[in-house]
């Protein structure tokens, strides 16, 4: 399995990524020294985030073709593209480099969908919310990839 649905692969339009970055800079006064785009895809958010004039930019992406496209498109020595699976990536060294901004459009695919596709592109499961068995029946425990990525920064 390697389709768009399995990887939650929906590229953010460049105009939208630019609007988000401008809003964060101009309206929210965000001034990071490090910008991180997990699951960067072809790098639309990463490219738009150059307006922050940060010291370093990191894009992490599992698809090597997308990594190549980022490297060939975003010509800036502060940008580092890392071909890696986000579920095994250690963010601690990047987080230690300064005030960071995590930006992007994480993959939107939940465990139920991935299981039905026979996918193994799943994060390590951990009941960090302390959810009870009954909650599994109500859908409360339908842990998704996006939630895992977001929580990776704080745990």
Greater confidence, 18 or 140? 18
Residue 12 domain boundaries: 4-152
Read off the pLDDT of residues 55-88 as tens digits, 9 standing for 90 and up: 999 999 988 999 999 999 999 999 999 999 887 8
pLDDT level of residue 138 (50, 70, 90 thresholds): low
Coil vs helix vs strand at 100: strand
Output the domain CATH number for residue 130: 3.40.50
Into how many domains does the chain fold?
1
Are the CB atoms for 58 and 76 separated by under 8 Å? no
Residue with the larger pLDDT of the pair 101 and 107: 101
The confidence score (pLDDT) of residue 151 equals 65
Distance of alpha carbon 140 from alpha carbon 131, whole angstroms:
8
pTM above 0.75, yes or no: no
Strands 34-38 and 100-102: parallel
In the chain, the DSSP E strands lie at 34-38, 56-61, 79-83, 100-102
> What distance, in Å, lies between the first and last C-alpha atoms of the chain?
29
């Amino acid at each position: 399995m390697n389709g768009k649905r399995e990887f939650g692969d929906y590229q953010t339009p460049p105009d939208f990524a630019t609007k988000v970055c401008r809003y964060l800079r101009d309206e929210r006064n965000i001034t990071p020294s490090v910008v991180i785009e997990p699951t960067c895809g072809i790098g639309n958010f990463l490219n738009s985030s150059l307006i922050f004039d940060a010291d370093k930019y990191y894009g992490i992406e599992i698809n090597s073709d997308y990594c190549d496209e980022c490297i060939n498109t975003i010509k800036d020595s502060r940008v580092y593209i890392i071909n890696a699976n986000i579920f095994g990536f250690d963010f601690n060294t990047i987080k230690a480099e300064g005030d960071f901004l995590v930006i992007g459009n994480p993959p939107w695919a939940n465990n139920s969908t991935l299981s039905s596709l026979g996918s193994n592109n799943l994060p390590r499961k951990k009941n960090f919310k302390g959810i009870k068995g009954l909650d599994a029946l109500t859908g409360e425990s339908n842990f998704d990839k996006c939630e895992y990525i977001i929580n990776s920064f704080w745990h």
